[in-house]
Copies of this chain bind each other. A is one copy, B any other.
Amino acid sequence: MALEHALLVSLRERAASGSELTRRFDKSFGYFWSATHQQIYRTLARMEADGWLTSTVVPQQGKPDTKVYDVSPVGEKILAAWLTEPPATTPLRSDLAVKLRGASFADDRAGVLDMARGQRAEHEARAAAYRQMLARQFPHPEDLPDADLDRYLVLRAGVRVEEGWIGFLDEYLSTHERRAAGVRAKEA
């Protein structure tokens, strides 16, 4: 629903080509709005047709020509208005939450716990990646210009979300591990 606006934000930060935007959405921007190159190209075309963006073909050294997009005055207005509108409630869909809720229907509870450990490791890795980005991109966060402060704070949100998952998985795993230990003790 908001890919257009995510593209507007990214392009306002810095004009870019479809290819460059695809890379951005695979990395930093992609941590809170992901999109495939095909979706990005199709949406850019529609936004240009609607007058939200302008584009310029730029020859490159040793590479094909590239199409650099920028936000038009119309697009600036549309983005400014969108930024203060309350967002629609984003429906949540989590495979992991569904799996853990249904874990008692697995053949093997241990297999589910192993899967949960693997997921915990992935969330840990993601949190570590965010922290590394924070340290690298914002070594001195006390005195940032407004736009950088926003990027900094939103990146910290990423860390919080990962920490939330890690805390949950820790609780889930330790509760089940304690249960399993209690069952084994009772069987002694």
Contact = CB atoms under 8 A, between A and B. Distances in A.
Contacts of A150: 100-104
A58 interface: no
Contacts of A179: 146, 149
A95 interface: yes
A88 interface: yes
Contact of A33 (B88, B97, B115, B119): B97
Nearest to A175: B153
A99 B154 CA distance: 10
A95 B90 CA distance: 8
Given A80-B107, A101-B151, A87 B92 contact: no
A87 B99 contact: yes
A106 B5 CA distance: 12
A9 B153 contact: no
A101 B161 contact: no
Interface in A165-179: 165, 167-168, 171-172, 175-176, 179
Interface in A61-102: 76, 79-102
What is the copy number of this chain in the assembly? 2
A152 to B, nearest CB: 9
A5 B106 CA distance: 12
14 contacts: A5-B95, A31-B92, A32-B98, A33-B97, A80-B106, A80-B107, A84-B107, A86-B119, A88-B95, A101-B150, A102-B150, A149-B179, A161-B164, A164-B164
Interface of A: 1-2, 5-6, 8-9, 12-13, 30-34, 76, 79-109, 111-112, 114-115, 118-119, 122, 146-147, 149-151, 153-154, 156-157, 160-161, 163-165, 167-168, 171-172, 175-176, 179
